[in-house]
Structure 1
Amino acid sequence: MVEGGPIDVLTGDWLAELTMLILARTQAKRPGGGYARSFVRQMEQVMGTCLDRGIRVVANAGGLDPDGCAEAVAEVADRLGLSPTIAYVDGDNLLPRLDDLLAAGVDLPDLVTGEPLTEPGRFISANAYFGCWGIVEALDRGADIVVTGRTTDAAVVCGPAAWHHGWARDDWDALAGAVVAGHVIECGTQATGGNYSFFTEIPGLERAGFPWADIAADGSSVIGKHNGTGGAVTVGTVTSQLLYEIGAPGYLGPDVTARFDTIRLEQEAPDRVQISDTRGEPPPPTLKVSMNRLGGYRSDLAIGLTGLDVDAKAELVEAAFWRACPLAPEDFDEVSSRTVYTGKDDPASNEEAVAQWCLTVKDADEQKVGRGVSNAMNELALASIPGFFAARSGGGARAFGVHRAGLVPAGLVPQHVVVLGGDRTVVDSAAPEGDVSVEPVPAPPSEVPAGPTVPAPLGRVVGTRSGDKGGDANLGVFARTPEAWAWLDGFLTTDRLRHLLPEAADLEIERHLLPNLLSVNFVIRKLLGEGVAASTRQDGQAKSLGEWLRARVVDVPESLLESA
């Protein structure tokens, strides 16, 4: 990004819910080290060039220790003989304040259920999501490099845009446009063809280029990539990324609520997509708080079930395992078992003949899920089903984390901006109030195609993008023509989704329309249980959920298949 073409600001989003858990465990072993060390190494590679070219750097790589990260960057600069102005933004860490907040009547209710926080001592991280205004303050004070803690993914893009254009805190539409641009480029190559349903249409994906956002004074932007790099920037790749890890059309943030149902996309030129007309509303008066606690220990096993009689083999393996295990299922905090039918009829290879019986046991006591569990599996090797082999060994007990998303009044969590070698200033996190009315933009007029239907995979006519939101999963589905959208809108109801994805049949599902993007977004509550680190799904982050949906065979209008 630094050497491939002209940029003004190099931004980096380093944090996810799982990353915060990992950093918390790192910090426990190495106090002061709860930041992304890879960022420091990258600064060593490009810092000199950035300073020579006047490129600012803004990244939330500070994690749980933004001050430690800033000091590490300063050590690199000193070793290189460079003198950048380095600032960090902190104040997001609420872990030391949890008891005081609860004592003051601030119960940090759960984001989804509204249940108040209990047992604060069990948590190992608790960080409020900051917006962009601490970054703006740091840049106003001359920072060349800004390191933050838990800012939102889009804040590292919105901050430089608000600083450069001199936006006010109630420039809702401009802020919303910058948030949308930040959301598009926050996951790098996912905007240039990575994880794209129609990836066969994208050239050069063996080394996709990273995206950039050119943000105008009104908040509109052009998404592109450096010339000569792999991948592509198209309306499709941008639409796909817009659907990543979102909920309702009103995309809540600390600075603005960006209305995704007002976004307009246009292919301006090859590898150039313009985003315009995004409307914004005042944000909620609360900040989201990402919290992690250690949930206990787990052991995961999988036994190969090869060839014939898969159900009978699974039944025998399960019964024999519990007969050999020194503990019964009810002795564990949680037991999850399932048969995964991956074998094929008349298999042409050994691998094609294998299904799996999978088991996960969890408990607060590490000893319970340790050697006794693995020994029980080993005892079955010569004494149970024909063709027995371990498709996945438990490998002993391993710790897992549980994620919780809470809420805290924004006014209680100010942002502290520190310039190394200078003083500390404080930025209020509470946004101004406002009264804004926004209407969603309708889809282009079209009718459901008439004529015959034929069985075909749903993915022949629609794309998807899915991901994790704590214990929930989001599944965005997009059409590529108004005619396909007209059919998709009527066809893919919540009940239909339950039928196509039986795993979600008994779960709460929200359905949100984005007709301006020819898209519908589903939020499937608790599909991932207590979050990514605790999930027992094969894909604990739901990244492949959309591709599963696309593989399901449904009756599709023949005319849509012809146009696709």
Structure 2
Amino acid sequence: MAGDPVDVLVGDYLAEVTLAALAARHRQDPGKGYVDYFLDQLRPHLATLKRRGVKVVANAGGFNPAALAGELRGMAAADGVPLRVAHVEGDNVLARLDELAADGHPLTHLDTGAPLAEWGHRPLAANAYLGGWGIATALAEGADVVVCGRVTDASLTVGPAAWWHGWRRDDWDALAGALLAGHIIECGAHATGGNFSGFTRIPDMLVPGFPIAEVAADGTAVITKHGPDGGAVTVDTVTAQLLYEIQGPVYLNSDVTLHLDEVELTEEGPDRVRMSGATGSPPPPTTKVAMFGQLGYQTVHTVYVTAPDVPAKVALLRAQIGRDLPDGVELEFTPIGTAAPDPASQWEATVGLRVMATAGDREALDAFGLATRLGSLYLQSIPGFFLDGAVPPRATARPVIGYWPGLLPQSALAHRVVLDDRAFDVPAPPDTALTGQPAHPEPEPVPTGGATRTAPLGDVAYARSGDKGGNSNVGIWAPDPRAWEWLRATLSTAELRRLMPELAGLDVVRHELPKLRAVHFVLRGLLGTGGSSNTRVDQIGKAVGEYLRSKPLPVPVELLD
């Protein structure tokens, strides 16, 4: 608000892992269940928002958008600001699960196709991903602030763009362009240098600014930022976010299916990147329902092992900690890092060992007593063993929240907008179509000949990775056009498996996006059943891309020089 004028402020608060944590808080206090600090962020600016006519659209409503909207109305009234606050509802289908099952909706798993009845856990939360037409309706009826629960992330942009330009529900290409713009700005500074492989080439990364999408009437958009803010908007920072958390060239959404194959990014000037070529088609007949249920309990600690003989020391710790393991308790050991061959400090000779214990019920985990076992090893285990004295061992187990992404026909939802004392029903999409991902052939082997030098992949490529349920995605692209053909031919599925041995036994899907000079992979099951319950240290796959960039392989000298 302190920079160049904008028409709509959007706020995306509901990552899948965040939603899982919010679900637990909602169970403790059903009257809340929304993102409290949204109120703290907004309240000092209510009068300015009204005076400037800036709209606010956010999904901070979480599990209780009506309550958050009520709080905002009370604040505005107390401050004497005549703001009209609407909320969007209908995403929460937890109370309808039995009814939906009786009506023949099995809520099959998005990846496996298994029905919800086979999960074996009663959902604690079930929220469908709504589209943006409820938001557009609220704005058209005069709302100043629109509070949503679980809408798709990009719907926060699609809805305002559709309202502003007066689009029809079948303006597929325009809607697809807005969906792409929403996808780029939904993660804030991700598009201005945050989490960007080329961060060392951005001069001011201390506080990268938020991105701005200038969406035209035909759906094309320019991504920019406030001039004085840190960070940068370049073709590569936008590419990074474009490749984030996609499932391939076909991007499914509740309002439109976006086809990324022909998307082109063009630098128009400093901090201005134009996105064009996005095409759209009807959305799928189903939408995703994010369901969470408690799977059990876990406790985790990190201990430290000092070189030499790290593998033997870890082996003894495994045996000692796992001795007399009670039924129902499982242990997982993850060494983190390696000791330097010639350590310049004690810490370069140190390896962290993450120890996680899980069980279906708290009693079994408490009886096992991981913290007590670790503390007992000081005088009877390996040399060089210690815990961080500033972090006392935590004996209390915490719940493990599982994730089930189910599919539900959009026609089964009761999508509705509430403004003042009126309610507006939002009909399901009139036209739908099932669009699958294209099948791309594996590349021909890299031609032999020419001088090469072993170097990290990151010397010639950038990468961005993320999570979608139990899957991790990773997009790798060549910032230098000369490197594209080599990168495309090199990064076959077989080569990716060689670079990432942990993919053994997992399904890997590969696609190419030539206009972005990118190879994209979906690593199915790398994150278990979802970020909220898997036991990886990199819980939601954010570091997979940088891990790949660290891998050495033969690179043509001409690309390195």
Answer yes or no: same fold by TM over 0.5.
yes
2:124 alignment partner, SS class: strand
Alignment-derived partner of residue 33 in structure 1: 32
Alignment-derived partner of residue 216 in structure 1: 216
Alignment-derived partner of residue 383 in structure 2: 386
Shift of residue 423, structure 1, vs aligned partner: 1.1
Alignment-derived partner of residue 443 in structure 2: none
Taking a change above 3 Å as real, the CA distance of residues 439 and 511 of structure 1, as seen in their structure-2 partners, is: closer
- Residue 407 of structure 2 aligns to which amino acid in structure 1? L
Alignment-derived partner of residue 126 in structure 1: 126
Which deviates the most, 534-543 or 118-127? 118-127
Once residues 164 and 62 of structure 1 are traced to their aligned partners in structure 2, the CA distance between those partners, rounded to angstroms, is: 23
Once residues 109 and 433 of structure 1 are traced to their aligned partners in structure 2, the CA distance between those partners, rounded to angstroms, is: 19
Shift of residue 558, structure 1, vs aligned partner: 0.7
Asked whether the 8 Å contact 1:282–1:434 carries over to 2, the reply is yes
- Residue 347 of structure 1 aligns to which amino acid in structure 2? P
Alignment-derived partner of residue 260 in structure 2: 260
Taking a change above 3 Å as real, the CA distance of residues 193 and 449 of structure 1, as seen in their structure-2 partners, is: farther
Shift of residue 314, structure 1, vs aligned partner: 1.3
- Residue 309 of structure 2 aligns to which amino acid in structure 1? D
1:122 alignment partner, SS class: coil
Which deviates the most, 260-269 or 392-401? 392-401
1:402 alignment partner, SS class: strand
Shift of residue 481, structure 1, vs aligned partner: 2.6
Alignment-derived partner of residue 96 in structure 2: 97
Shift of residue 438, structure 1, vs aligned partner: 12
Shift of residue 220, structure 1, vs aligned partner: 0.0
Alignment-derived partner of residue 518 in structure 2: 519
TM-score (norm 2): 0.95
Which deviates the most, 472-481 or 352-361? 352-361
Q: In the TM superposition, what whole-angstrom CA distance separates every residue of 1:459-489 from its partner, at most 9, and x where no partner exists?
A: 0100000111111111111111332111111
TM-score (norm 1): 0.94
Alignment-derived partner of residue 154 in structure 1: 154
Alignment-derived partner of residue 236 in structure 1: 236
Shift of residue 390, structure 1, vs aligned partner: 2.3
Asked whether the 8 Å contact 2:284–2:432 carries over to 1, the reply is no
Shift of residue 521, structure 1, vs aligned partner: 1.2
- Residue 18 of structure 2 aligns to which amino acid in structure 1? T
Kindly indicate whether residue 335 of structure 2 is the aligned counterpart of residue 336 of structure 1.
Answer: no
- Residue 111 of structure 1 aligns to which amino acid in structure 2? L
Taking a change above 3 Å as real, the CA distance of residues 143 and 341 of structure 1, as seen in their structure-2 partners, is: closer
Q: Which runs of 5+ in 1 are unaligned?
A: 442-446
Taking a change above 3 Å as real, the CA distance of residues 151 and 367 of structure 1, as seen in their structure-2 partners, is: same
Once residues 417 and 448 of structure 2 are traced to their aligned partners in structure 1, the CA distance between those partners, rounded to angstroms, is: 57
Aligned residues: 551
- Residue 14 of structure 2 aligns to which amino acid in structure 1? L
Q: In the TM superposition, what whole-angstrom CA distance separates every residue of 1:319-342 from its partner, at most 9, and x where no partner exists?
A: 12223x5x34xx125432243442
Asked whether the 8 Å contact 2:176–2:219 carries over to 1, the reply is yes
Cα-Cα RMSD = 2.1
Once residues 514 and 468 of structure 1 are traced to their aligned partners in structure 2, the CA distance between those partners, rounded to angstroms, is: 19
Once residues 422 and 553 of structure 2 are traced to their aligned partners in structure 1, the CA distance between those partners, rounded to angstroms, is: 63
1:297 alignment partner, SS class: strand
1:236 alignment partner, SS class: helix
Alignment-derived partner of residue 559 in structure 1: 558
Alignment-derived partner of residue 444 in structure 1: none
2:374 alignment partner, SS class: helix
Alignment-derived partner of residue 56 in structure 1: 55
Taking a change above 3 Å as real, the CA distance of residues 249 and 463 of structure 1, as seen in their structure-2 partners, is: same
What percent identity do the matched residue pairs reach? 46
Which deviates the most, 448-457 or 400-409? 448-457
Once residues 165 and 305 of structure 2 are traced to their aligned partners in structure 1, the CA distance between those partners, rounded to angstroms, is: 62
Alignment-derived partner of residue 366 in structure 1: 362
1:556 alignment partner, SS class: strand
Q: Which runs of 5+ in 2 are unaligned?
A: 441-445
- Residue 20 of structure 1 aligns to which amino acid in structure 2? L
Alignment-derived partner of residue 500 in structure 1: 499
Once residues 406 and 262 of structure 2 are traced to their aligned partners in structure 1, the CA distance between those partners, rounded to angstroms, is: 28
- Residue 110 of structure 1 aligns to which amino acid in structure 2? H
Shift of residue 367, structure 1, vs aligned partner: 2.3
Matches within 5 A, 1:9-408: 9-118=8-117, 122-323=122-323, 327-328=325-326, 331-332=327-328, 334-370=330-366, 372-390=369-387, 393-408=393-408
